[in-house]
Amino acid sequence: MTQAPSPFVRAALDAASALPESGIAWLDAARRDNLQAFAEAGLPEGRNEAWKYTPLRALSQRAFAVADAAVARDVAIDAASFALPGVDSARIVFVDGVFRADLSALNRVDGVSLAPLAAALTEQPEPLRFALASRYRRGAADAFAHLNAAFATDGVVLRIADGIDVAKPLHIVHVFSGVQPDTAWHVRVLVEAGQGSRADIVEQFVSMGEANQLGTVVADYVVRESARLGVVLLQAASTATTLVRRGHVRLDANASATVHALEVGGALVRHELTAELAGDHARFDSRGVFALDGRQHIDTQLEVRHNARDTASDALWRGIANGRSRGVFRGAIVVAEGADGSDASLSNKNLLLSGSAEIDTKPELEIYADEVKAAHGATIGQLDERSLFYLRSRGIPLAQARSLLTLAFCRAALESLPNEALREHLGDLLVAHLPTGPSAG
């Protein structure tokens, strides 16, 4: 007997019937195919190893409507609410997944093309065909990727020309408006850093209210030969939101990319980041922190694939869980056959600040090549009582002593961020989210 779709899936299928056609045959066909694949697969269940520590039973019983684009275009948003120090160049803003020209600053940066996806599709759809119609075809993606591919009608297309050195970070902002409860939005991000180029991107998630909303983002970064790309992910959504973000970074020969991530918001957050070192001498570095409190749940899935010779990767992630929160981290390094000379390391350390909090960490290492250097490790512990005693013996109150030690524990993941103003802001944001009182126990 065929099982009835969950309220989550049923609502998505109902909402799809109201989506307008794009008028581009291959895109509409891809959307229908992804919707069908999503309907057949449904949300991942606990038997799915990749979702073992992130149960979706509660989410499956919720029904999200598509966020109303007209409402998203009119809702008043103060641009100061997402302004970041050290980030004041070109900016593209989405409110509930809808591009807002009035909040964006698509001012020209020499050699940089930054545009909303809908406009890019109108002007030149064919160059986007692979990314939108083939990249996440049936059998090559999971339910949320299919959901995003079926519903994402807007997003970011960012191209950096060969040899261009972009002086200031480019800013991508996703705003949960807070005025459209029980709605969902979906955005695609497509970035190509041209050969020999240099650029930094900041992608930010903020909330203007406490409404229950779901957002999905699928981001593809292509870093051409000898290019360098820096990406900062700042997720500070409200604790009522659900966010699923999937990022894929592909690096050609001699290219490098660095990702810094700070996650302090959201009720249920799944962050997947995959790096594919496809060219010889490519390098990928990642640094991340999640700080949880209350009943927050953040699941980070990191996978680095060494597919070429003499590639290098270094991952350093920190997790903090307080209250009744739960953190999940999976870090995988895969060295393919023939990827000789690869050098990979991964470190994940976590702090439990409450007896009711939980963190699950799972480092993985798969090596199919010779002459490889690889190391990985993970720990889960508590604040060092001797250090706490030392600080308190010098007159520092317990709450302040706990914050100082927790911040020091996380600092290693953020200190390599070269933008000093932004680095200090992330540190301040982290401090604001650290528990200030004794453990809830």
CB 165 within 8 A of CB 195: no
CB 247 within 8 A of CB 219: yes
The mean pLDDT of 408-432, rounded to a whole number, is 92
pLDDT value at residue 402: 87
Write out the two tokens for 42.
């449904």
Nearest Cα residue to 110 out of 166, 162, 194, 158: 166
Q: One-letter amino acid identity for 66?
A: V
pLDDT value at residue 441: 39
Tens digits of residue pLDDT in 159-175: 999 999 999 999 999 99
Write out the two tokens for 7.
């309220």
Rounded to an integer, what distance in angstroms lies between the CA atom of residue 307 and that of residue 334?
8
Indicate the SS3 state at residue 49: helix
User: Which of 103-117, 141-155, 266-280 has maximum average pLDDT?
Assistant: 266-280
Q: What does pTM read for this prediction?
A: 0.94
Rounded to an integer, what distance in angstroms lies between the CA atom of residue 63 and that of residue 120?
31
* In 106-169, beta strands by DSSP E: 112-116, 154-160
The mean pLDDT of 406-433, rounded to a whole number, is 92
pLDDT value at residue 196: 98
The residue that leads in pLDDT, 437 or 85, is 85
CB 8 within 8 A of CB 45: no
pLDDT value at residue 262: 97
Tracing tokens 């803003």 back to the chain, one arrives at 93
Rounded to an integer, what distance in angstroms lies between the CA atom of residue 252 and that of residue 195?
9
134 pLDDT higher than 80:
no
CA distances to 156, 317, 328, 350, 361 from 358, rounded to whole Å, are 36, 16, 8, 10, 10
Tens digits of residue pLDDT in 200-224: 999 999 999 888 999 999 999 999 9
| Share of residues in the chain with pLDDT > 70 (%) | 97
pLDDT value at residue 8: 95
Rounded to an integer, what distance in angstroms lies between the CA atom of residue 28 and that of residue 37?
14
Task: Work out the pLDDT band at 440, boundaries 50, 70, 90.
Answer: very low
Tracing tokens 């895969």 back to the chain, one arrives at 334
CB 96 within 8 A of CB 177: yes
